Structure 1
Amino acid sequence: MKIEDIKTRINDLITLAGNVLGTHHRSNDPHLVDTEAFAEFRTSSLSFLEKVFGKEHPFYRDFDQQVKDIDRYMTEQGRGILKGAKQEIDGGWLFTVKGLVSAEIFSDFLEMAEYLLQEGYKDPAAVMTGSVLEEYLRQLCRRDGIAVEVDKGGKLSPKKADLLNADLANAGVYNKLDQKTVTSWLDLRNKAAHGKYAEYTKEQVDFMYQGVTNFISRTTS
């Protein structure tokens, strides 16, 4: 899902909330809203929040727990949650289930890698997924104040991905088990990049792709 599509969709949902609130006058109880309109609003909003933020994100959990009954108060709560999500999206802080969308290229490359896998092209998919992972590690380092360059004889050079991975684990950004898993993904990427195509399978690239997208989603905060 492109960032512009996400922005359009959340605006539509906020508008839908207003439409639901506009139905309260049709009931004998001024606190109730239209059942069908509320059901559409709740279902559509939960689907959107799950796809964009994931089920463990506070936006999804709060909406699911607080927007349950067909009344004005809960609809207003739901609209407020969506407005909070919109602020994150508009501010460039959005991280989707597929990873970092503040830089739209992450989403684009992961979608492309997924397409390549579906078409059976495991080797370019492995390289592409690994490149996204390496750039994500670099962004994590910048976010947490970890140097992304190393001094080599008075000249700064970009750190290699393995060193970024070690630095992030040592800083407690993620644990040692994550570090080992990331190392295995980087190794697979390197094999693909150096033409060692027989040393890994499509299934391993599938696992890598799923693992990287989940890792990015889980470690983003």
Structure 2
Amino acid sequence: MLSPKLKKRYIDHFDELIREGERIQAGRKTKDYVYDHGDPEHGLDPIIESTEEIDSAAFYSWRSRCTTLLENVTRQGSVHTARVDETSKINETPHAIMKTLGHLRAMKQDLEDGFMDDLSIRIESEVASDYLAQAEQLLSEGKSGTNEHIPAAVLTGAVLEKALRTLCDKQTPPIPTTNPDGKPKTLDPLITDLKKSGLYEEFRAKQLRTWAALRNHAAHGQFGEFTRHDVEQMVAGVTRFLADYLS
């Protein structure tokens, strides 16, 4: 999942490469080559063949940049994967440039319209919503003074952690969710890494850290560190977060 700022950068890059491809296409020149000099003494005219030439250096630079961009916005197994491979092998012909420009315009439009979003994010959102509904049920069925808010906090925290890991995986490029030693990152580093990527601002990160701390208190038996009201706010907040970033 791309942050709005990063998505705009990619769209701007698409526009830049489309303009560059159009410039290369417009700058092509027609040259005549004598294919056969003929035999004037016997009335045979020379055979002249016309070809269109383009700026080779500009073309290969453009092709390389197009390939890099498409690799960055396309995930393995996507319907667009074949276009990446095809683009990396195109020849310096007007027809190949025209075809590649068509690919760029189509993928830019898909990116703008949200059709390149990963379906797994939507599935994850639905599953997370089910678990959050269970947390809400625990709170609604419990009575004041009982401890139903504790498992609700643990459950909501697990949903939040899974959502953060999914968001890390879906960034372009993906954000590692494990440390160099192979151990999974805790919530705080995940929150910080996603903020650094530009997915959200510090205000959102502060909210997430508050919920992460509440989850840790619940999971480690520190029940005096939070209240039922805190958990209710956490469930509502995580629900909004998922609606904003996993829908």
TM tier relative to shorter chain: 0.5 to 0.7
Query: Aligned pair 1:119/2:175, yes or no?
Result: no
CA offset at residue 129 of structure 1? Answer: 0.3
User: CA RMSD of the aligned region, Å?
Assistant: 2.4
Gaps of 5+ in 2: 1-112, 143-147
- Alignment match, 1:81: none
Q: When the two structures are aligned, how many residues end up with a matched partner? A: 126
Question: In structure 1, how many angstroms separate the alpha carbons of the residues matched to 2:141 and 2:223?
Answer: 16
TM, length-normalised to structure 1: 0.53
Amino acid at match of 2:122: L
8 A contact 1:130–1:186 mirrored in 2: yes
Moved over 4 A (4+): none
SS of 1:217's equivalent in the other structure is: helix
Query: Aligned pair 1:132/2:159, yes or no?
Result: yes
Question: In structure 2, how many angstroms separate the alpha carbons of the residues matched to 1:93 and 1:198?
Answer: 35
8 A contact 1:150–1:158 mirrored in 2: yes
Percentage of identical aligned residues: 39
- Alignment match, 2:125: 100
Amino acid at match of 2:137: Y
- Alignment match, 1:171: 197
- Alignment match, 2:180: 151
CA offset at residue 94 of structure 1? Answer: 3.0
TM, length-normalised to structure 2: 0.47
SS of 2:180's equivalent in the other structure is: strand
CA offset at residue 191 of structure 1? Answer: 0.7
8 A contact 1:141–1:148 mirrored in 2: yes
C-alpha deviations, 1:28-81, integer Å up to 9, x for none? xxxxxxxxxxxxxxxxxxxxxxxxxxxxxxxxxxxxxxxxxxxxxxxxxxxxxx
8 A contact 1:134–1:161 mirrored in 2: yes
Question: In structure 2, how many angstroms separate the alpha carbons of the residues matched to 1:119 and 1:112?
Answer: 10
Amino acid at match of 2:130: D
CA offset at residue 111 of structure 1? Answer: 1.4
Question: In structure 2, how many angstroms separate the alpha carbons of the residues matched to 1:178 and 1:157?
Answer: 26
CA offset at residue 141 of structure 1? Answer: 0.1
Q: Give the 5 Å matches for 1:1-221.
A: 91-92=119-120, 94=122, 100-101=125-126, 104=127, 106-120=128-142, 121-144=148-171, 145-152=174-181, 156-220=182-246
8 A contact 1:174–1:219 mirrored in 2: no
8 A contact 1:114–1:209 mirrored in 2: yes
Question: In structure 2, how many angstroms separate the alpha carbons of the residues matched to 1:109 and 1:158?
Answer: 22
Question: In structure 2, how many angstroms separate the alpha carbons of the residues matched to 1:177 and 1:212?
Answer: 14
Question: In structure 2, how many angstroms separate the alpha carbons of the residues matched to 1:172 and 1:150?
Answer: 21
C-alpha deviations, 1:109-150, integer Å up to 9, x for none? 111111111122100000000110011000000000111111
8 A contact 2:122–2:246 mirrored in 1: no
Question: In structure 2, how many angstroms separate the alpha carbons of the residues matched to 1:107 and 1:219?
Answer: 13
Gaps of 5+ in 1: 1-83
Amino acid at match of 2:134: M
SS of 2:176's equivalent in the other structure is: coil
Amino acid at match of 2:138: L
Amino acid at match of 1:100: S
Structure (1 or 2) with the larger CA radius of gyration: 2
8 A contact 1:123–1:197 mirrored in 2: yes
Question: In structure 1, how many angstroms separate the alpha carbons of the residues matched to 2:217 and 2:211?
Answer: 10
Question: In structure 2, how many angstroms separate the alpha carbons of the residues matched to 1:93 and 1:168?
Answer: 16
